[in-house]
Amino acid sequence: LISNTLEPVNKKLLVLDLDETLIHSTFNECYCDKQLQIVMNNQKFTSYLNYRPYLDQFLLTAQQWYEIVIFSASIKEYCDTIV
């Protein structure tokens, strides 16, 4: 995600991949940390998400030193809903 501000950032850039790095998601029903309804191509899907252990703590700590960008090869609707 790109910041909408034009202020200079003095932090280094940290690029993180979404799928299989920060989270694992599947459309198959399973035990999960969170369920989300995602609309893709005008169809509604339930996505079952598991977060990498200690993800919240990692992101909270990393944001102190880095400008964080999350990358994904997935479609925009999927990424926007998850992020």
Per-residue pLDDT, 2: 54
Extract the runs of DSSP E, i.e. beta strands, from the chain: 12-17, 23-26, 34-40, 43-51, 66-71
Averages of pLDDT over runs of 10 residues in the chain (83 residues) are 62 94 94 93 93 96 95 90 89
Per-residue pLDDT, 5: 61
Per-residue pLDDT, 6: 58
Whether residue 56 lies in the annotated active site = no
CA dist 61 and 52 (Å) reads 15
Per-residue pLDDT, 75: 87
| Of 17, 33, 56, 80, catalytic | 17
CA dist 61 and 38 (Å) reads 29
- Per domain, the residue ranges of the chain are 12-82
Class at the top of the CATH hierarchy for domain 12-82: alpha beta
Predicted TM-score of the model (pTM): 0.76
